[in-house]
């Protein structure tokens, strides 16, 4: 027995765990540190009450209203989740209870592959194929609608795969009992399976929401990037994430710091969603894969 060697190993592993866990702390620390000048020179209120978003290096020279971009992010996310939720949950129900085995396997594989397409390729496809189509229908094409459609495709696999996995975990007795009661297939799905799988489906929806609100490139490439609160789905918008990607290249001083504030806001939203998922998981731990 070599207990000194064991102790040495344990300390190396423990040290690694400290570093890995510490990365989170480091990320948040540097985000906060880089945001501080903005809070000092601008405060919080100006991000919502300034006349517009025309940032400058010094707080006094520019205007810093983030509100239209926060609205942009929320609209794009809400739209994408509204479209992807029925399609994603539908895909899971279809694979579990409706499709013949081979069709279900193929469809599952297609959704897995869809999940593997990188966001920049989604954005490129949206820019080349989708935006011109929307432009013909209702110019200018680069719009809230284009962003919503592309984003819904991107988050659909998350919803579908998590819902599918949580339905696969339901005990067979549920199906047998529903069968014994003489329920039709749809009544079984709607009355028994969906409610039983609800925590898992909800987890998928929340994770997809987090993914949507944090997505940058695909949205940036198709949304038009004009800072405004849109009055129709055909108008361009700009999201918080796109704003960071577009302006980091030349931002300095308080402008740069306010981009970090944006990053901080996004992180808080997504982390809050992660904690909600964890709450759900803990309460319904037996029902979630």
Partner 1 sequence: MKSLIHRQRKPADAFAAVILWVMAMAVSFVFVWIVFSIVAGGLSSISREFLTKPPEFSGRSGGISTVLVSTAVILMICLGAAVPLGIATALFLSEFTGNDEWFGRLVRRSLDVLAGVPSIVFGLFGSVFFCRVLGMGYSLIAGGLTLACMVLPIFIRSAEAGLRAVPEEYRSTAAALGISRRAVIFRLILPAAVPGLISGLILSLGRAAAETAALLYTSGYVDRMPESVFDSGRSLTVHIYDLAMNVPGGNSHAYGSALVLVVLLLIINGAATWIGEHGLRRRLIRS
Query: Which residues in 117-156 contact partner 1 (CB under 8 A)?
Result: 117-125, 127-129, 153, 156
Nearest distance from C-beta of residue 242 to partner 1, angstroms: 9
From candidates 42, 69, 70, 111, binder to partner 1 by CB under 8 A: 111
Q: For residue 53, list its beta bridge partners.
A: 64
From candidates 185, 191, 233, 284, binder to partner 1 by CB under 8 A: 185
Cβ-contact 257, 44 below 8 angstroms: no
Q: Judged by CB, which is closer to partner 1: 107, or 232?
A: 107
The site string for partner 1 over 250-289 (x = CB under 8 A, - otherwise) reads ---------xx--x--xx--xx-xx---x-----------
Q: Is 172 in the site for partner 1 (CB under 8 A)?
A: yes
Numbers of helices and strands, H then E, in the chain: 13, 2
Nearest distance from C-beta of residue 51 to partner 1, angstroms: 26
Q: Judged by CB, which is closer to partner 1: 30, or 49?
A: 30
Which pair of structure tokens corresponds to residue 64?
A: 């810093």
d(CA 220, CA 122): 11
Count, residues near partner 1 per rule CB under 8 A: 91
Q: Is 216 in the site for partner 1 (CB under 8 A)?
A: yes
Which pair of structure tokens corresponds to residue 234?
A: 């055909």
Nearest distance from C-beta of residue 231 to partner 1, angstroms: 26
From candidates 142, 166, 188, 209, binder to partner 1 by CB under 8 A: 188
Q: Is 80 in the site for partner 1 (CB under 8 A)?
A: no
Nearest distance from C-beta of residue 92 to partner 1, angstroms: 10
d(CA 46, CA 248): 20
Q: Is 9 in the site for partner 1 (CB under 8 A)?
A: yes
Nearest distance from C-beta of residue 287 to partner 1, angstroms: 19
Selected range binding partner 1 among 24-32, 38-46, 139-147, 229-237, rule: CB under 8 A: 24-32
Q: What is the per-residue burial (b if ≥16 Cβ within 10 Å, else e) of 105-124?
A: eebbeebeeeeeeebeebbe
Q: Is 112 in the site for partner 1 (CB under 8 A)?
A: yes
Which pair of structure tokens corresponds to residue 32?
A: 């906060």
Residues 222-241 that bind partner 1 (CB under 8 A): 241
Q: Is 91 in the site for partner 1 (CB under 8 A)?
A: yes
Q: 73: Cβ–Cβ under 8 A, 6 or more apart, which residues?
A: 213, 239, 240, 241, 266
Closest CA to 175 of 97, 70, 118, 91: 97
Nearest distance from C-beta of residue 6 to partner 1, angstroms: 5
């Amino acid at each position: 027995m070599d207990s000194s060697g064991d102790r040495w190993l344990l300390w190396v592993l423990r040290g690694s765990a400290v570093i890995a866990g510490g990365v989170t702390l480091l990320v948040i620390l540097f985000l906060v540190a880089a945001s501080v000048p903005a809070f000092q020179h601008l405060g919080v209120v100006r991000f919502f009450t300034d006349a517009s978003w025309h940032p400058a290096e010094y707080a006094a020279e520019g205007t810093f209203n983030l509100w239209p971009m926060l609205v942009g992010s929320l609209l794009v996310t809400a739209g994408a989740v509204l479209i992807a939720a029925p399609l994603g949950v539908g895909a899971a129900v279809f694979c579990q209870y409706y499709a013949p085995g081979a069709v279900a396997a193929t469809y599952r594989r297609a959704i897995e592959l869809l999940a593997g397409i990188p966001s920049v390729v989604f954005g490129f496809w949206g820019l080349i194929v989708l935006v011109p189509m929307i432009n013909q229908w209702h110019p200018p094409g680069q719009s809230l609608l284009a962003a919503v459609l592309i984003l819904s495709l991107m988050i659909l696999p998350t919803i579908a795969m998590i819902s599918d996995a949580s339905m696969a975990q339901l005990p067979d007795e549920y199906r047998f009992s529903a069968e014994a009661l003489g329920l039709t297939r749809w009544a079984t799905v709607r009355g028994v399976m969906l409610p039983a799988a609800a925590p898992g489906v909800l987890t998928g929806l929340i994770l997809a929401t987090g993914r949507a609100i944090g997505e940058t490139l695909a949205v940036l490439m198709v949304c038009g990037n004009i800072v405004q609160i849109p009055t129709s789905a055909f108008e361009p918008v700009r999201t918080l994430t796109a704003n960071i990607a577009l302006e980091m290249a030349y931002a300095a001083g308080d402008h740069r710091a306010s981009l970090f504030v944006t990053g901080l806001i996004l992180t808080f939203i997504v982390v809050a969603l992660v904690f909600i998922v964890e709450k759900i998981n803990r309460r319904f731990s037996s029902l979630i894969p």
